[in-house]
Amino acid sequence: MISANELPAKESVYDMPAVPHGQQPTPEQQEQAMTAQIAATVVGVAAAKAAIQDAVTNQIVALLKSADLLSEAGIKAFAKIAAGLVRNASRKSQELTRVGVKKRASIVGVPFNAPMPKAKDIPQELRQGRTSNLESAYARLAKE
């Protein structure tokens, strides 16, 4: 019996160049390909963010339809759940942005190895951005 190590080496498809000689892309074509990859990444991230926004909007609309908005307790319950949905969507959006930046950096050859910061590691004053806390905003609405 012949073992695999005793067989003669055979040329593999992987040993051949991906592009035949003389047909390699020019520097201009390489630049265009890199620009197209970056554009595709930007469009992909934007589409994913829009999908997250649409999904959260649909969830909040469904929550509005089923919530008891005539009592203060019902409004507070709605506020807590809605704030959680928006907070999670915001975090997912941040993760998508980071993935997009990392992909674009790798396309142009810049190393981007920093890990995604955990939400608790972000300073409190930077977590909320320019908006107020959603739970307290909805609570203000409930009092009005």
Whether the CB-CB separation of 72 and 142 falls below 8 Å is answered with yes
DSSP of 56-112, one letter per residue? HHHHHHHHHHHS--SSHHHHHHHHHHHHHHHHHHHHHHHHHHHHHHHHHHHHHT---
CA 61 to chain centre: 23
Question: Which tens digits make up the pLDDT trace of 11-69?
Answer: 777 777 777 778 888 889 989 999 999 999 999 999 999 999 999 999 999 998 888 88
Residues 6+ positions from 75 with CB-CB distance below 8 Å:
67, 69, 138, 139, 141, 142
- pLDDT at residue 142 is higher than 70: no
What pLDDT does residue 135 have? 66
Band the pLDDT of 134: cuts 50, 70, 90.
low
| C-alpha gyration radius of the chain | 26
